[in-house]
């Protein structure tokens, strides 16, 4: 038993050390690919992605995704307990099986960059672990930069530059405020909604995102290109 416990504790120790080193490396190195990108590439044959540093993305884009996805982003430390509680209550009452997430931007980055697709207690535990690590090691600006480059923003289009090319034929830095809001409006279901040809729902949601952006103000520190 002593040997078994020794092996278990050694494995846990090395897991902690490796994960911390992995997160520290990606604080300065851009993630080459994610599980989700690989899945979509296998399904579609190819995906679109072009990395852009935060300073090469329109300043309105971070604000738009905060307004749409995580309005307490600058306040929390990776977890929004109230949002998770509300999501749980909505899901428990929805008899049609439409699950609504309560994940923060930080949690989305953690599971997209470091974890495999699926739902399990192990994955949720690892998601919490990596969320805490990136909040501690990366900070808000790096988390946002990675999010804006790895999140699926259209079917097979990963990151702001990919969707800017597809929907608006322009560089990410030249996106207008309304275009940023339209992209963010599609984020709940990027394979269903299209920023290039927005449905009535997407148009209404984009207007709502714009109002939220105005209400939030310039809460995210932006870098000039």
What are the angstrom distances between the C-alpha of 48 and each of 55, 56, 79, 127, 164? 20, 18, 30, 26, 11
Report helix angle 105-114 to 140-150, nearest 10: 60
The residue assigned the tokens 């309005």 is 71
Predicted TM-score (pTM) of this structure: 0.89
- Among the listed residues 197, 111, 120, the one whose alpha carbon sits nearest the alpha carbon of residue 152: 111
What does the pLDDT read at residue 225? 47
Q: Over 70: is that where the pLDDT of 42 sits?
A: yes
pLDDT band per the 50, 70, 90 thresholds, residue 97: low
Average pLDDT, integer, range 105-125: 92
Domain ranges of the chain: 34-216
Q: Over 90: is that where the pLDDT of 150 sits?
A: yes
Q: What architecture is domain 34-216?
A: Orthogonal Bundle (1.10)
Our CA dihedral for 191, 78, 148, 37, rounded to 10 degrees, sits at -50
Average pLDDT, integer, range 15-40: 94
Among 99-108, 126-135, 147-156, the range scoring the smallest mean pLDDT is: 99-108
Which residues make Cβ contacts (< 8 Å) with residue 211, sequence separation at least 6?
A: none
Angle at 87 between CA 83 and CA 89, to 5 degrees: 120
Per DSSP bridges, beta strands 152-154 and 157-158 are: antiparallel
Q: Quick: pLDDT tens for 123-143.
A: 999 999 999 999 999 999 999
Q: Quick: pLDDT tens for 15-26.
A: 899 999 999 999
In percent, the amount of the chain with pLDDT more than 90 equals: 75
């Amino acid at each position: 038993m002593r040997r078994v416990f020794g092996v278990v504790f050694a494995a846990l120790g090395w897991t902690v050390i490796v994960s911390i080193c992995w997160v520290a490396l990606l604080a300065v190195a851009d993630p080459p690919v994610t599980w989700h990108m690989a899945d979509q590439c296998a399904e579609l044959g190819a995906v679109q992605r072009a990395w852009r540093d935060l300073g090469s993305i329109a300043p309105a884009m971070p604000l738009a995704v905060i307004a749409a996805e995580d309005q307490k982003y600058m306040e929390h430390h990776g977890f929004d307990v109230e949002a998770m509680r509300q999501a749980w209550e909505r899901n428990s009452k929805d008899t049609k099986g439409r699950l609504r997430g309560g994940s923060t931007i930080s949690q989305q980055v953690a599971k997209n960059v470091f974890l495999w697709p699926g739902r399990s207690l192990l994955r949720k535990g690892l998601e919490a672990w990596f969320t805490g690590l990136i909040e501690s090691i990366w900070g808000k600006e790096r988390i946002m930069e990675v999010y804006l480059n790895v999140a699926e923003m259209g079917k097979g289009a990963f990151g702001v530059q990919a969707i800017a090319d597809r929907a608006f034929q322009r560089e990410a830095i030249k996106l207008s405020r309304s275009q940023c809001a339209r992209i963010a409006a599609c984020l709940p279901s990027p394979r269903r909604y299209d920023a290039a040809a927005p449905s009535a729902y997407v148009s209404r949601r984009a207007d709502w995102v714009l109002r939220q952006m105005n209400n939030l103000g310039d809460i995210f520190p932006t870098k000039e290109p």
